[in-house]
Chains A and B, each alone.
Chain A
């Protein structure tokens, strides 16, 4: 938890310093869009992919990107059995799946 806070504070102050008076950059806008996209997973997997205590669905935060991509593509293809995940994964493009996996891998 402390490591997470330190990382978060460091990146936050760096960004504030870099952009204190600037108009929002393309990267900032992309970050907001990405976090919004990832929030469509949060109802079942928790805010930013962090599960509630004793959750029976897997955590997404901190999971290696390649692993998440592989699982989501397997759900999408129907090669991994599931109740809802095949139906939901089919709603996302492969590009969105890679973006989601990258976002959750970056959460600590």
Chain B
């Protein structure tokens, strides 16, 4: 942390305030062999991709041509989407427009999906057939469900009978309607895959939200948590205390239940070892892996599931000029697959891309934080927080010794902070 010591501190701060790349050899940010600005194509407008698009423009002083490719018309947040299931928030509450990225930051938005990537020629080929040349590609495609891990699940999901709602959007609304249609005295069951999966505490928060809804609307109903893991994978003691104190007799937790098949017509989940479970509303989450475009492009080089990256700049170890962010990567130790973390990945990658394109040195000691709130009812939340530093000797991120921690108990103050976090990080990514 001594790099700034010999420098004129005032100039550093001025440069930082001005939009840094303006000071980094303005002419250097050029596309190789071309007189136009270098182009970065960002694939996926979630927490990682939207943040990357904005910060690439900010950190380059608007000198990079940034194209964001995202099929959905608006940003819908996965964090807090469980509150829609609980009934205290609406889809509109967790939806924000992408248009601010265009108007305020000059990002070019293309509402399409990327079908294929030509890694050798550096071209992203879109669903429309449009071909986007890139100098750098930022890939933030989220997760893909591994349907074959649970027999019968793909068909049940396509028919809308057993939805996942693990990407917030139409399935969130569908699952809420199924809960509303369920008779009092019914059973909601959520099946959790083995780690790693997107949003470790998400399933346990969802169980709380559904139970919160049942408590007032259908008090004779039950919530079953069927977990493939040995124990609750995140905030365990905090969740268990809430289940005992607020949802006793309603929420039941069963570890070591790895789903192997579903029978949607009979409302059944089958397990590798344990007995079948019947439920009125089933929410079965299969094994997850990197987003489809990453897998199809050969970038999921960790067991065919996740993308190995150089943590200094999030460049894929399988392809030069391709940077992978968020839930798709093979994580460093104690690094959760969370929206907050994807936002952090995006900033490290954006700064590294801007530096590299300007022939500047990449920050040798990037930092990441994570703050994750889980709502246990409509008001109270619990959090887990951590700080991660790049450890050069081990070429990975590690949590800073002594940092991080959890809530002492669920409380309303953290519920207010949780909602404030959401509004702020959405603005940090989009506005």
Contact = CB atoms under 8 A, between A and B. Distances in A.
Contacts of A35: 16, 20, 59, 351
Given A11-B18, A31-B20, A32-B355, A44 B420 contact: yes
Contact of B427 (A19, A47, A88): A47
A100 to B, nearest CB: 10
Given A20-B27, A32-B16, 18 more contacts: A11-B15, A11-B17, A24-B358, A29-B24, A31-B15, A31-B23, A32-B20, A32-B354, A36-B363, A37-B367, A42-B347, A43-B344, A46-B427, A52-B431, A84-B371, A87-B404, A90-B404, A102-B13
B423 interface: yes
Nearest to B348: A36
A42 B428 contact: yes
A83 B23 contact: no
**3 closest Cβ pairs, A-B complex:** A91-B387, A91-B403, A31-B15
Interface in A1-34: 7-8, 11-12, 15-16, 18-34
Given A19-B25, A83-B417, A27 B428 contact: no
A23 B18 contact: no
A43 B24 contact: no
9 contacts: A19-B26, A31-B13, A31-B23, A35-B351, A42-B347, A44-B420, A83-B383, A91-B388, A107-B17
Interface in B17-61: 17-28, 54-55, 58-59, 61
Interface in A39-75: 39-47, 51-52, 55-57
B244 interface: no
B1 A95 contact: yes
Given A32-B59, A91-B369, A57 B420 contact: yes
Contacts of A24: 23-25, 28, 355, 358-360
Nearest to B10: A106
Contacts of A25: 23
B348 A31 contact: no
A39 B366 CA distance: 11
Contacts of A38: 16
Contacts of B427: 46-47, 52
B8 interface: yes
B385 A84 contact: yes
A19 B24 contact: yes
B26 A87 contact: no
A103 to B, nearest CB: 6
B413 A31 contact: no
B361 interface: yes
A32 B424 contact: no
Contact of A36 (B9, B54, B351, B425): B351
B385 A87 contact: yes
Interface string A73-108: 000000000011011101111011001001100111
A26 to B, nearest CB: 6
B217 interface: no
Contacts of B12: 27, 30-31, 34
Contacts of B343: 43
A95 B354 CA distance: 25
A81 B123 CA distance: 52
Given A27-B12, A31-B13, A87-B403, A22 B25 contact: yes
B180 interface: no
Contacts of A57: 417, 420, 424
A79 B421 CA distance: 24
| Chain A CB within 10 A, most for which of B27, B344, B347, B400 | B347
A106 B425 contact: no
A23 to B, nearest CB: 6
Contact of B424 (A8, A15, A37, A45): A45
Contacts of B351: 32-33, 35-36
A62 B23 CA distance: 22
Contacts of B421: 43-44
A40 to B, nearest CB: 5
Given A12-B18, A45-B424, A28 B23 contact: yes
A42 B414 CA distance: 18
B402 A90 contact: yes
B347 A56 contact: no
